[in-house]
């Protein structure tokens, strides 16, 4: 047992050193030299390329450069297959290394993002893996390691990764192929260039499409109350009109008011919260769902719709504030336990519970 621990520690030291060196010298990564080396491998070039791609994924080398090289070397069809196979193999190796060897290192690197991944996997399983593969909310190489610390099964992770990395692999492979054709003066250059641009546009549009089809990440009012009471950092964003926010129905203590109609123009005001959990609330949850799609599409990483909205909050007898408090509303920020301000401004439903 002791020898096994020593072996694992040595293996992780070697890997960590390799990653550090790769990151330090990634700016000197010479794709042209790599292409020449692989071309010289003859019949073994595909296997060599797949191995290099897998190792590069583990060592945090830029995947986009490798994918472009695959397209230039092998064309759009075989290039896509080899790129996707290498990327999936590397992602699987990183996943296993994190799960069985380097949990502490990955936790330090991933930070608060690991909690969001855990919540996403718990709530959606393979669908969440598919979503983060299609929507680049997390750096690709780090994501492979971080998912190893979630409860997702290895087989599910591998299959979802392979299938849902396909659109991006196809687009960048074809771009690499079109670039090679441009340099060599191949036939049909304009058509190939237009197709490459169309594929890139499709990949850029996919996150918005998936965001619409994806099941909304819902947050129950009791869970929100518990997280607020525990002092967790979370922004409660009320997207009702200012009149509704300050009206008879009241609002959640500490909530920030930003009406849905104004959100597209004022979304930059939330720039400091891109990595912060956000709970979006309205009267029920329809406007909140629209706000969640908008925020997620703009790169906010951890956005949830409060299930049932203020209607469910009031029905549960939880504390509300009537009127706009000093420092709340448009100037408000993170909600937390005790964020309601002066006690004479708090109204409670049945049970008189507070956040």
- Over residues 79-111, the pLDDT tens digits come to 999 999 999 999 999 999 988 887 777 888 777
What percent of the chain has a predicted confidence (pLDDT) above 70? Answer: 75
Q: Which residues are catalytic?
A: 282
Residue 214 three-state SS: coil
- Over residues 62-81, the pLDDT tens digits come to 888 889 889 989 999 999 99
- Over residues 198-219, the pLDDT tens digits come to 877 777 777 666 666 566 668 8
Whole-angstrom distance, CA of residue 335 vs CA of residue 333: 6
Q: Taking all residues of the chain, what is their mean pLDDT, rounded to a whole number? A: 79
Q: Picking from 71-85, 122-136, 243-257, which range would have the lowest pLDDT averaged per residue?
A: 122-136
Q: Where are the beta strands (DSSP E) in 40-129?
A: none
- Rounded to a whole number, what is the distance in angstroms from the first to the last CA of the chain? 48
pTM (2 decimals)?
A: 0.61
Q: Could you tell me where the DSSP H helices lie in the chain?
A: 2-24, 31-39, 45-58, 63-74, 76-100, 103-110, 113-124, 126-134, 140-147, 154-164, 166-184, 189-213, 221-229, 242-246, 263-266, 286-297, 309-315
Domains of the chain: 2-213 (no CATH), 218-347 (3.40.250.10)
The pLDDT score that the predictor gives to residue 157 is: 95
Local structure of residue 280 (DSSP, 8 states): E
Encoding tokens for residue 17? 């050193």
* Position 236 pLDDT exceeds 60: yes
The pLDDT score that the predictor gives to residue 351 is: 36
Mean pLDDT (whole number) for 131-137:
79
The pLDDT score that the predictor gives to residue 305 is: 93
> Under a CB-based contact definition with an 8 Å cutoff, are residues 300 and 207 in contact?
no
Whole-angstrom distance, CA of residue 289 vs CA of residue 293: 6
């Amino acid at each position: 047992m002791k020898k096994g621990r020593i072996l694992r520690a040595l293996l992780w030291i070697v890997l960590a050193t390799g990653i550090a060196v790769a990151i330090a010298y990634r700016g000197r990564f010479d794709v042209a030299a790599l292409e020449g080396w692989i071309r010289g491998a003859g019949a073994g070039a595909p296997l060599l390329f797949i191995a290099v791609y897998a190792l590069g994924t583990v060592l945090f080398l830029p995947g986009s450069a490798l994918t472009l090289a695959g397209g230039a070397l092998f064309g759009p069809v075989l290039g896509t297959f080899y790129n996707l196979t290498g990327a999936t193999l590397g992602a699987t190796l990183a996943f296993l290394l994190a799960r069985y060897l380097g949990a502490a290192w990955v936790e330090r690197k991933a930070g608060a993002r690991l909690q969001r991944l855990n919540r996403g996997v718990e709530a959606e399983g393979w669908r969440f893996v598919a979503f983060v593969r299609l929507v680049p909310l997390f750096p690709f190489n780090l994501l492979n390691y971080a998912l190893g610390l979630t409860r997702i099964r290895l087989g599910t992770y591998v299959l979802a990764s392979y299938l849902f990395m396909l659109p991006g692999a196809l687009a960048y492979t074809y771009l690499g192929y079109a670039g090679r054709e441009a340099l060599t003066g191949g036939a049909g250059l304009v058509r190939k260039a237009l197709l490459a641009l169309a594929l890139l546009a499709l990949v850029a549009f996919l996150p918005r499409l998936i965001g619409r089809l994806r099941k909304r990440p819902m947050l129950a009012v009791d869970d929100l109350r518990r997280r607020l009471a525990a002092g967790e950092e979370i922004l409660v964003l009320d997207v009702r009109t200012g009149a509704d926010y300050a009206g008879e129905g009241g609002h959640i203590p500490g909530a920030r008011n930003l009406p849905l109609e104004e959100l597209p123009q004022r979304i930059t005001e939330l720039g400091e919260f891109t990595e912060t959990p956000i709970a979006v609330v309205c009267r029920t949850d329809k406007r909140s769902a629209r706000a969640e799609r908008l925020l997620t599409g703009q790169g906010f990483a951890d956005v949830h719709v409060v299930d049932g909205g203020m209607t469910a909050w009031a029905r549960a007898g939880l504390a509300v504030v009537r009127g706009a408090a000093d420092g709340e509303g448009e100037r408000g920020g993170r909600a937390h336990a005790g964020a309601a301000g002066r006690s004479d401004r708090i109204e409670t439903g049945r049970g008189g519970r507070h956040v």
